[in-house]
Structure formats: C-alpha cells, structure tokens
Structure 1
C-alpha cells in the first residue's frame, strides 16, 4: 500500500481521476496515469517512477506544471506542484461525474388491517380497563 492511501490530512480536496499524463524528467519523457489531482499536487502511476526529490514537469492536455516528486514508492509517486493550480484550470482536467440513475425500489405491498370483530373489540376494551381477557367471560 503506497502513501497516498494512508495520508488523510490534505490542504485541498483531491479529485480521483483515471487519465493519461506525462512527466518530463531529467532522463526523458515518462508516460503516467494520473490517479488524483488537487490544486497542490497529483498522484501518478507508471513504470520507473523518478526518485523522491526529483524535479519534473507534469503535462496533461496543454497543462504544464513544474513539480517535485514528494514521494515515490513502487509504481506510484506523489507530485507537489511549484505553484497551486487555479480551481478552474484543475477542473478542466477532471471529467464531470457520471449521472446517477435512481434505482427503482420495489416495495412489498403494505399490510392492510382488517376491521376488528365485535368480540375482538370487547376483548381489547376489557383488557384496557383491567377486566378479564378470556373469551369465555
């Protein structure tokens, strides 16, 4: 389990995504999968992630942000942007949520009470007033 799943105290809300992006590293261009994005950073996943502290340039559809690899573990790395993204710029790269179709809940028909018989009503009235509750009285 990498650090992105254990760190809970974020300055800004992260949007979970599944988008292609690129990191320009000192060693060349590296295709990555953008897993989440916030104003201050991103979680990327790919092969041969750069080491912690490496300076990179994050690219995604016309967006280029100088960044530092804050942490790197296995096939995942956390990026810290050199400057925060404007919310409008960030949201341009986050697809709108899928519309939710309300599920039709099928309910069982309710129980419809039958009217009390004269004998049942008398039994309940005797019980409520502290009288005998046997039918033979």
Structure 2
C-alpha cells in the first residue's frame, strides 16, 4: 500500500542531519516507489533518501530491524538489512554499495519526480500509462 506523499515532517525520522552520525556517503532525496521483498512478504514502499550505502523507506508494515531484504528501485536491485525502524520509516543498509551509475539512475529518477511535483504513486501510474500506450 502506498502512503500519501512524503511530508516535510518525515525528514525527522531519518536520523541526525548534522553531526555525530555514522553515515559515510552523502544522501539525496529520491521520492520513488520501490519494492521491498523479505522471506515473508513483498511490499510496495516509498523511498525517501538514498545514498550509495543505504536508504530510508516509508510505508506500512515495514520489515523489522535485522530483517534482510531485496530492494528494487526502478532498474536498480540490491540486497540490504533494516538497521533502524521508527513508526512508518525504516533505514536500510545495503550489503554492497550502489555503483555510481546505479546511484545516478535513482537520483535522476528522484529528481524527475520532484520536478514534476507528483507523488511517487502518480509517477508510477504515468510510467505505466506511457509503457501501455506504446
């Protein structure tokens, strides 16, 4: 299930923005839908922020801390583990860092969503409509 658009208040559920954090790679906003699969369930989630080493997910019934998952964001696929969870937000650390080209794909798709001022669900619906109309 996809939530309403991410709001500014969600930025507060992704750890500290300044000082003291352990994050070694810069993150970028990338409001996209993604598919998160665990051994138990497959969920459609919203991606909030992403870096080469991890991402913030938003959605209902997210995996628990410690759960391993397979994450597909557009054409990018990676494995990771949930390292924190707070309400309907969760942080995932990727098993292997994304390559520069993978990160570029996610960031450019996220920028497109932001520029169009559409929710991730609306962008997905538009993409499906374009593919279906070809």
CA distance in 2, matches of 1:5, 1:79: 12
Q: 5+ unaligned residues in a row in structure 1: which ranges?
A: 99-137
Q: Residue 39 of structure 1 corresponds to which residue in structure 2?
A: 52
User: Scaled by the length of structure 2, what TM-score is found?
Assistant: 0.67
Q: Residue 19 of structure 1 corresponds to which residue in structure 2?
A: 32
Q: Residue 99 of structure 2 corresponds to which residue in structure 1?
A: 86
Give the total of aligned pairs: 97
CA distance in 2, matches of 1:88, 1:32: 22
CA distance in 2, matches of 1:58, 1:51: 15
CA distance in 1, matches of 2:39, 2:17: 28
Secondary structure of the equivalent of 1:59?
strand
CA distance in 1, matches of 2:47, 2:72: 10
C-alpha RMSD over aligned residues = 1.6
CA distance in 1, matches of 2:17, 2:82: 16
CA distance in 1, matches of 2:16, 2:72: 26
Deviation at 1:7, TM superposition (A): 5.2
Higher relative contact order (CA 8 A, sep 6+): 2
Deviation at 1:54, TM superposition (A): 0.3
Deviation at 1:86, TM superposition (A): 1.0
Q: More displaced, 35-44 or 8-17?
A: 8-17
Q: Which has the larger radius of gyration?
A: 1
Q: Quick check: which one's helix share is greater? A: 2
Secondary structure of the equivalent of 1:32?
strand
CA distance in 2, matches of 1:52, 1:7: 21
Q: Residue 6 of structure 1 corresponds to which residue in structure 2?
A: 16
